Homo-oligomer: A and B are copies of this chain.
Amino acid sequence: MKSYRYPAREEWNEILKRPVFDTSVLNKSVQKILLSVKTKGDKAVRKYTKQFDGVALRNSEVSAAEFDAAREIVSPELKKAIEQAVKNIRLFHQQQLSEPEIIETMPGVQCWRKMIAIEKVGLYIPGGSAPLFSTVLMLGIPAVLAGCKQLILCTPPGKEGTVNPAILVAAEIVGIKKIFKVGGVQAIAAMAFGTESIPSVSKIFGPGNQYVTAAKQLVQQYGIAIDMPAGPSEVAVLADDSCNPRYVAADLLSQAEHGADSQVLLVTTSQDALSRVQEAIDQQLNQLSRKEIATKALENSKAILVNNLDEAIDLLNEYAAEHLIISCDGADSIADRIINAGSVFIGNYSPESVGDYASGTNHTLPTNGYAKAYSGVSVDSFTRKITFQKLSSTGLQNIAETVQRMAEAEGLDAHAHAVKIRILDL
């Protein structure tokens, strides 16, 4: 972790730069796979699955027998934990559903917005070293709550052609029935364009490696929506003299173990806290199974000593962290002043890992400063709000002059005429 002592504001931009990989250098090779799947469908998907996942699959859909087997393998304890997480996540997301409320803007002019599920959505769950069944919950629960009619999930098969059983169990608990053992760019392509066996969707969700990220960026050009632009995961911790340095160190390391490209940021008003957190990191690092990954991530990471709390808050609002942990006295009132972050963790008993798994909030959050303009995933992400308006003849009479006047001033006569032709009949 590189440390900075009282940097001037002009230096913040440089210090806060993220270790971002520009996926556009992959565009050419990714585009090739996209187009191949678009034109050749399942045949191309099978080819790339063999090439990249090292397994030949005739049928990529997970069968009932595979679900049955997964249920046998996953321990009752893990199943219980998943069920508790589902309960919390569902409780929190349920609140995001909304009913239309009619607003009469003028007598006889009724307007409302109705939350309606996106009909066809696709979830992507990466394979690799960590089987992210928690992401199945974070995407699947709001999708099911929203009422998406066609909900599919793609995840790469392992060398034996199987999917991690925890992913299948999590999907089953959540209510996802159609899972395809397809990963990487070919999965994004299949969901974007559809194949003989995999239906196309309107919006694609989920994390992935740089190829998946590039593919999600590119399919937008074909009219497919995506959850949000992606970047490496990150945490910022704001700590003062009152913090527990061992907790802060543990939080920073829990983010650092995600990947070598993760970034962690410590912002503190206390020189003492800074050095004690760094000592604690050194102590804890050796106990981690993913020590090597965390060590690499720490090389991208910064510890910043600032003059006072105001400066700390400004700096953190400038950084716009995906996860922000506030380990300070008066954490609540500091949280009130945060305007740019994905998810905020308040106080000494709110480590990021509770939000990653089970507090109830979503863990699919904007990275890379995107929190300045994007929200994390929620029920909103799986719905649209369609507006409706219904005017009575009185309503139209009440609004007619306003509309005609404005339409004429914009030079749009036919707009005015559509009102006039009705009014003349009244």
Q: Which residues of A contact B (CB under 8 A)?
A: 24, 77-78, 80-82, 84-85, 87-89, 91-92, 95-96, 101, 103, 105-106, 109, 111, 113, 116-120, 129-134, 166, 202-203, 220-221, 223-225, 229, 244, 246-247, 250-251, 253-254, 256-258, 284, 287-290, 294, 317, 331-332, 335, 338-362, 368-376, 378, 380, 384-393, 395-396, 399, 401-403, 405-407, 409-419, 421-422, 425
Contacts and interface: CB of A to CB of B under 8 A. Distances in A.
A375 B385 contact: yes
Given A133-B410, A288-B413, A415-B257, A389 B88 contact: no
24 contacts: A80-B405, A81-B405, A89-B105, A95-B101, A113-B378, A119-B339, A119-B340, A120-B372, A202-B372, A223-B370, A257-B414, A287-B417, A342-B387, A345-B389, A345-B390, A349-B396, A350-B389, A352-B415, A354-B389, A354-B396, A354-B419, A357-B402, A359-B389, A373-B384
Given A81-B406, A229-B220, A373-B225, A353 B113 contact: no
A130 B407 CA distance: 10
A349 B5 CA distance: 66
A117 to B, nearest CB: 8
A166 B358 CA distance: 52
B85 A417 contact: no
B414 A290 contact: yes
Among A113, A246, A409, A418, residue most surrounded by chain B Cβ atoms (within 10 Å): A418
A378 B98 CA distance: 15
Nearest first, the 8 closest Cβ-Cβ pairs linking A and B are: A225-B373, A105-B360, A81-B405, A88-B105, A346-B390, A353-B415, A361-B387, A351-B418
A291 to B, nearest CB: 9
B360 A419 contact: no
B359 A414 contact: no
B361 A409 contact: no
A379 to B, nearest CB: 10
A118 B103 CA distance: 26
A19 to B, nearest CB: 15
Contacts of A392: 349
Given A229-B223, A343-B389, A359 B130 contact: no
Nearest to A343: B387
Given A229-B223, A414-B250, A371 B385 contact: no
Contacts of A342: 386-387
Contacts of A82: 406
A378 B385 contact: yes
A366 to B, nearest CB: 8
Contacts of A78: 405-406, 409
Contacts of A388: 335, 343-346, 361
Given A358-B403, A390-B350, A410 B130 contact: yes
